[in-house]
Amino acid sequence: MFKEPMGELCPPAVRRPPVPQVLREALKDHPSLITELQHALNQIELTPTMNKTQRFDLFERATLSLEGRLETFMARAQAELLAANAVGDGIAAAKARDKKALMLRCRGEGHLELIGFFDLRTLPPDTADLHAGAAQG
């Protein structure tokens, strides 16, 4: 047994993806959000026996998990903004706007790091069109 991100124990052959560095840097002033992202990623377990298609499926789960969490963070920031505006708190409203803008900038970030984690430098044949789209974006 060894410790994964967030100190959880897992079998030696199992690896869980870390929050991509680009997101950790962007969210450095919001450590609780990084923790939430890591908890979401801890549901994804990579084992050495997985084939490329299985690893691609896990990559998709990881990216969807991150995007879902970031959408949740944006919704929270929007609620904070509405609450601040309702009571006329300009400082809290500005902070909420900044937080929401940060979440928007974070969307779609970290995919290259996850591709490396899941060892997807070449994708399965049935996903080659997705790889071409990712290279353009």
2 pLDDT more than 50: no
Count of all residues that appear for the chain in the document: 137
Q: What confidence score (pLDDT) does residue 120 get?
A: 87
Average pLDDT value for the chain: 85
pLDDT for res 14: 84
Q: How far is CA 29 from CA 33, 56, 70, 86, 94, in A?
A: 9, 31, 15, 26, 16
pLDDT of residue 125: 55
Classified as helix, coil or strand, 46 is strand
